[in-house]
Amino acid sequence: MLLIKVVPICLLLLFGCFVAPTFAQAVNFDNTNEQSVSTTSIFNISPTIEQLNRLAMHSPKLAQKQLLVSEFDQHALNPAEQYLLLLTKAKIALSEQKYNDAIALLTTVETLAAKLSKLQLQSDSFNQAYLLLSQAYAYQLNYQQAYLTKKTYLNNYFDNIEYLRAQEVEALKLKYETRRKDKENELLESKNKITQQKIEEANQANIAYQREKIVLILLSLVFIGMLIRQVIISRDLRTLAKKDNLTGLLNRSNAFKRGQALVDNFRETKQVFCVLMLDIDNFKAINDNFGHDVGDQVIKKVAQIGKDIMRSRDIFARIGGEEFVAIFPGTKLAASVSIAERFKEKLHQTSFASLGINNSITASFGLSCVTLSDADFETLLNTADQAMYRAKRNGRNQVVNYTPQINADLNKLT
């Protein structure tokens, strides 16, 4: 029984191989231009569906398992993806000798073909539908239908080859045209050199003047260069005066200047803002155990985490050692607490294993919002500092908001 099914299939495949050249001559290629302008779209295909379709060709059983665990929303799939999904199921049905099921699936595929472009249908992945349908008909000994579908497959196959050949010809034409233009440019450049040489020969009598002119230009350029260099140096010095050398953040003096400006603005406009003080926990132990170079790297990494957390309008500065300050203009307490908590969590989750530190690194955060009782920015910063030390006394790695009770408790301790 197996021999009865296999022999006709082999004959059909041999027929397709010998008849292919005949179809190559018989197929009308005048429609090549129609391929480039189609009334339907070329749809993108999900990589998952493409992989599943290829897997069904080589390992139908494995593809069937993958299909069972994969969840595809039919309404979310475009016509091309639906087409390939049905094609995959047809391959599985053929491998299980369910020829009627395969033919039914492939017939449904044909209804989707009207929604796809001719160019996409002629590609190898989509054109397989006709080849599979031909095989299914052959297994059922319906050789006439097998021949007709195989013929459609071959027509599409050679149309696609002709299209790819036309694309290659266009690419060669473009390459040739580029080379021709390069030659023209070389010729034009050569003519320009000859013209320049004639001009130089005509100006030999005035060469001394030209030399003096060049010297004058060079001296002018040197002067301009020195002036530009001085401007750049001055700009860099101004920048260095504002920035912390290790982290590139604002330094203490610049942070205080901008913080004081916000305090002054609050007195006039009542626009609130909050200040966050943070200090890296157990930083002395890091320096003692791993060295100051590692400590500097930890400070830089904490600074980078802060930059990532801060918004564009926020002010973030290193004010000394392992201490940082963040200022949140126009931000009330709740939003400021949210930013501080994100900072705390991201720092706690960040790995410092590349520096040889296997334990988590944390920081203590103190938050204080401006009030009318704050005489200046330093007063406001002092309240945030008190809240930060309360966070350290409470066990570190936490955010504490300043309250008058914190100040009272601190006075009792002192």
Is the per-residue pLDDT at 413 higher than 70? Answer: no
- Residue 222 pLDDT: 84
Is the per-residue pLDDT at 1 higher than 50? Answer: no
Is the per-residue pLDDT at 327 higher than 70? Answer: yes
Range 75-103 average pLDDT: 84
- Residue 318 pLDDT: 97
- Residue 233 pLDDT: 60
- Residue 64 pLDDT: 77
pLDDT in tens, 207-217: 988 888 898 89
Q: Cβ distance 114 to 35 under 8 Å?
A: no
- Domain positions in the chain: 2-168, 205-242, 252-413
Range 73-92 average pLDDT: 82
- Residue 66 pLDDT: 77
Q: What is the band of 109 on the pLDDT scale with cuts at 50, 70, 90?
A: confident
Count how many Cα atoms sit within 13 Å of the Cα of residue 389 in the half-sphere of its side chain: 10
Q: CA angle, corner 218, sides to 216 and 221, nearest 5?
A: 110
Q: Can you give 338-354 as a three-state secondary structure string? A: HHHHHHHHHHHHCCCHH
pLDDT in tens, 271-292: 999 999 999 999 999 999 999 9
- Residue 411 pLDDT: 61
DSSP 3-state assignment of 392? helix
- Residue 21 pLDDT: 35
Q: Does domain 252-413 have CATH number 3.30.70.270?
A: yes
Bridging pattern class, strands 363-369 and 323-329: unpaired
Average pLDDT, the chain: 82
Q: What is the number of H-type helices and E-type strands within the chain?
A: 16, 5
Model pTM score: 0.45
- Eight-class DSSP state of 28: -
- Residue 241 pLDDT: 62
Range 61-88 average pLDDT: 79
Is the per-residue pLDDT at 26 higher than 60? Answer: no
- Residue 25 pLDDT: 34
d(CA 215, CA 217): 5
pLDDT in tens, 244-264: 999 999 999 999 999 999 999
**Residue that wins the pLDDT comparison between 60 and 328:** 328
- The structure tokens 């564009």 sit at 312
